[in-house]
Structure 1
Amino acid sequence: MRTTVTLDADVQRLLKDAEHRTGRPFKQVLNDAVRAGLGRGSARAPAFRQQVFSLGRSRVDLTKATALAGELEDHDAIARTLRKPRR
């Protein structure tokens, strides 16, 4: 099949370098590059599996963790307010 393709200058330079380096015709270098680029995404990667471990029962009761975090945040805000220099 014949077609017209506009190549960016850097792509053309890479193809020409490969043509000179390998001694193959430009057409073959271009076709191989297109095949390699398009074929790369076709192989499906294996599904990611996260290995999990049981850490046992929690040693700390976290039912009031949000309240404790809020309280600590309040204390920090008060401390910052008291440290601010007055004008």
Structure 2
Amino acid sequence: MRTTVTLDPDTAAIVERSMRERNIGFKQAINDAIRAGVSASSAGTTFRTKTYDMGMPMVNLDRALQLAADLEDDEAIRKMRDSR
């Protein structure tokens, strides 16, 4: 694939240094940098979320949307009362 790339000065310096040190061309330096970046990010550790036992729910969560609507209604009523 052929494309135009505009490099920031710091990344251009990294590519130029790689070209000099390894005696390779621009295309090879860019391709190697992309491959190294992709493989480094995919080799990261798996993110885990800690879980905690919070006991039995105090509210029936089968009707969570209804509960949210009721809370929203209560807040709207409070705001109307406060604005008088």
TM-score, normalized by length of structure 2? 0.50
TM-score, normalized by length of structure 1? 0.48
Report which of the two has the higher share of helix: 2
